[in-house]
Structure 1
């Protein structure tokens, strides 16, 4: 994987994206040449159009990221990838056509965009048929050797068997003579020279997956492999990198303390984040005020009770604040006490079901962003009643409050809506990853992919 601004990007995704970027530029150039030839004007130099071609390719790639073209499902399913590509290219052309209309038709001719759209669809689908097939081959995956043969090693095996996995496990070494969960593991005692064994297998990374590390670390073996140029990683760090979450089953306080993350450099990131929040929330409130007002009237007419409702939530450093949303449930929804929303929740009103699906009920939260109680990106703020219970049952739950809560977040784009303790545990793993690694780049990635969640109603309830 490539680490970009503290966030890991699979080699396959990066390579596929670079090919896409080049093909989009080619589609834009061929579309212009085709149209220029039709109307009989001078084609001119490609260098003169470099800025417009870069803008075309950049907008398209941005929309493709937003709708999930580079997601795990798109990498393993051609049908899924094609559907997302069609949506992305259509949205991109619509956006550029709007820009063309605003600028008086001086930049992106709609006729050229029509040709570019058709060519882009053909090129990008062909790219996935030809290049995508090679990206799925084991030659493009990192070769990993696992030290361990217990439950952790078995978890790595299952992770490596996923179609979208970026690594292939070439062997398991049991570091003890006891029974093995992974039956094909080789006992360490059967290998005379581990360094040579690693070199013969072409291993690029070794993962330490011992069940009990106390007084059992194979330090001499690890040192020899490290000095031979092989990357050595521990289980928790490997899981974090490959899954984008912090594994609560194996993480411990010392790992959180000594692993990379929670850097002091985030002061600059926090300042930039706040400037963006103020500017974006002000603009969004101005643009959506008519929509909020309209649906406030509709909510009021649809059911008894106020159009808006306030609810106490836990924010940064555990401080409480009032969250404002458009009301989507009956006024007696919690007459029996606080409870999670459920699938097909009978407490949701007719209008509430619609505004939840398209996320209109979330728009008034922009006011909390402007006041500084929330950010656009961060862990979702929970209610005090739930927080006190979850802090007792889930380790490190309080650490998610070390960053400002958000309207959308890393957990929201990676995990469906949760309504029980197990779901809260999984979402906490993603929240901890965000709290540990957040940068403006990760925030931008989350904001872009929130469009995917909205379009396909992923996580809405």
Structure 2
């Protein structure tokens, strides 16, 4: 995994992205060569530097469209047919966006005939590149060999994560080195003999990383000297919480220690980060408000026509440092949704939802008025989802570290919203908190952009609708 601004990115996806950007830019030049034959250089020369900018714009738009439709969360077992089926709507979206860019910036326009040819060339090139990259990953070129210290429940969880997370990284599991006084919960055939040193076991099996997956580290049975020896000999040693943070983008609260949070990296709350985030919030919010204004006007009209009730819904939520504010959303439930006076969790296919409300929830249109909360400074565009005071009091008592999510501004979208399905229980709140803590610890402009792209995927594909 590569680490960019505290966020871990798959090496395979990074390689694929760079290869595809090169293919897309090269496709524009190759298309020009085929279409204009010997006059290619003269054609490019008449376009001056704008031709290279046009090629870069085309590449960025197609990559963005592929990202928005989940093409960079690809499964390693994805075959040629499935790749082609996923590629077609991505290019359809890309064609629409690049056409809009050509209309807004005519200097980048390079002709419909050339665009059609470039689309065919680049689609074929990306299809071949994906097959080759994924086949290379399966052959072991981008596979990491890891060894687990421990054989109990935590070791099994780490093993399952490493096996099931193949969409981002591929691991070859060497085995498990047991520790004393630990209940074995992994297959017996995967247990390695502990008669030799941990370094010897790692070298013999060519392991590049040791994941420490032991809960109880008290007493003299924990092999701290062996782990130090591995570290000094170039073998990476990773703690289980860090392994979950890296692979699942979660900070697990069930075995989290305050010392790990205190002495670990992250939690950037500097002036520079705050200034950059606020500037990003204002820019994105104003652009989205301009683009979404027609949709918001139509939505308000339909809400009013359905039951002649209020268009907007205001509700108290908990924001940064525990301060409350009134969040604004399009009303998606009946006026008597909480006639009993007691707050209720929202449910999947909630019967209190109106017909218009069901659609705007699925399309996330109900969240758009929160742009006003962002412009007022009460919210950020990306951050933990704001919760009601009634539920916050309950969850703070039942879930450790829950209040940490209030150390930054809440957001319209966030890591939990794009990584976890809609939830309405304490158990769901725990899972979502683990994503929120990851964001609080590792938030950056780079991560904000990734979450916005994932949010677009959620909207376009209707994931997590409730």
TM-score of the superposed pair, with normalisation by structure 2: 0.92
User: Are the equivalent residues in 2 in contact too, given 1:90–1:117 (CA < 8 A)?
Assistant: no
- Counterpart in the other structure of 1:252: 257
- Give CA deviations for 1:326-347 in whole Å, capped at 9, x if unaligned: 1111001111321122122111
Secondary structure of the residue aligned to 1:184 is helix
Relative to structure 1, the CA distance from residue 103 to residue 275 in structure 2 (aligned partners, 3 Å threshold; closer, same or farther) is: closer
- Counterpart in the other structure of 1:435: 440
- Counterpart in the other structure of 1:35: 35
- Give CA deviations for 1:21-67 in whole Å, capped at 9, x if unaligned: 12112222222222223999945469954332222212222222222
1:148-297 correspondence runs (5 A): 148-162=150-164, 163-164=166-167, 165-176=169-180, 179-182=183-186, 183-186=188-191, 189-191=194-196, 193-215=197-219, 216-264=221-269, 266-297=270-301
- Counterpart in the other structure of 2:307: 303
- Give CA deviations for 1:146-199 in whole Å, capped at 9, x if unaligned: 1111111111221222233432221211122665222235466422x4323322
Secondary structure of the residue aligned to 2:462 is coil
- Stretches of structure 2 lacking an aligned partner (at least 5 in a row): none
User: Are the equivalent residues in 1 in contact too, given 2:319–2:386 (CA < 8 A)?
Assistant: yes
Q: Tell me the distance in 2 between the aligned counterparts of 1:76 and 1:185.
A: 24
| 1:123 aligned residue (122, 125, 132) | 125
User: Are the equivalent residues in 1 in contact too, given 2:314–2:326 (CA < 8 A)?
Assistant: yes
- Give CA deviations for 1:397-423 in whole Å, capped at 9, x if unaligned: 100111110111011111111111221
Q: Tell me the distance in 1 between the aligned counterparts of 2:404 and 2:41.
A: 63
- Stretches of structure 1 lacking an aligned partner (at least 5 in a row): none
User: Are the equivalent residues in 2 in contact too, given 1:142–1:204 (CA < 8 A)?
Assistant: yes
- Counterpart in the other structure of 1:57: 59
Q: Tell me the distance in 2 between the aligned counterparts of 1:38 and 1:382.
A: 64
Q: Tell me the distance in 1 between the aligned counterparts of 2:345 and 2:85.
A: 33
Relative to structure 1, the CA distance from residue 383 to residue 76 in structure 2 (aligned partners, 3 Å threshold; closer, same or farther) is: farther
- Give CA deviations for 1:305-350 in whole Å, capped at 9, x if unaligned: 2111111111111110001111111001111321122122111111
TM-score of the superposed pair, with normalisation by structure 1: 0.93
| 2:377 aligned residue (369, 372, 376) | 372
1:325-336 correspondence runs (5 A): 325-336=329-340
Instruction: Tell me whether 1:360 sits opposite 2:361 in the alignment.
Output: no
Q: Tell me the distance in 1 between the aligned counterparts of 2:287 and 2:190.
A: 59
In the TM superposition, what is the alpha-carbon distance from 1:276 to its structure 2 partner?
2.0
Q: Tell me the distance in 2 between the aligned counterparts of 1:81 and 1:267.
A: 44
- Counterpart in the other structure of 1:147: 149
1:60-99 correspondence runs (5 A): 60-71=62-73, 73-78=74-79, 79-99=81-101
User: Are the equivalent residues in 2 in contact too, given 1:37–1:43 (CA < 8 A)?
Assistant: no
User: Are the equivalent residues in 2 in contact too, given 1:376–1:406 (CA < 8 A)?
Assistant: yes
Q: Tell me the distance in 2 between the aligned counterparts of 1:212 and 1:188.
A: 20
- Give CA deviations for 1:280-302 in whole Å, capped at 9, x if unaligned: 32343344334323321221110
In the TM superposition, what is the alpha-carbon distance from 1:105 to its structure 2 partner?
6.6
| Of 354-363 and 36-45, the range deviating more from structure 2 | 36-45
Secondary structure of the residue aligned to 1:96 is helix
- Counterpart in the other structure of 2:115: 113
| 2:324 aligned residue (311, 314, 320) | 320
Q: Tell me the distance in 1 between the aligned counterparts of 2:425 and 2:179.
A: 38
Q: Tell me the distance in 1 between the aligned counterparts of 2:303 and 2:268.
A: 45
Q: Tell me the distance in 2 between the aligned counterparts of 1:404 and 1:247.
A: 21
User: Are the equivalent residues in 2 in contact too, given 1:36–1:42 (CA < 8 A)?
Assistant: no
Moved over 6 A (4+): 38-41
| Of 197-206 and 426-435, the range deviating more from structure 2 | 197-206
Q: Tell me the distance in 1 between the aligned counterparts of 2:385 and 2:183.
A: 43
| Of 409-418 and 99-108, the range deviating more from structure 2 | 99-108
- Counterpart in the other structure of 1:346: 351
Q: Tell me the distance in 1 between the aligned counterparts of 2:107 and 2:183.
A: 72
Relative to structure 1, the CA distance from residue 224 to residue 66 in structure 2 (aligned partners, 3 Å threshold; closer, same or farther) is: same
Relative to structure 1, the CA distance from residue 38 to residue 417 in structure 2 (aligned partners, 3 Å threshold; closer, same or farther) is: farther
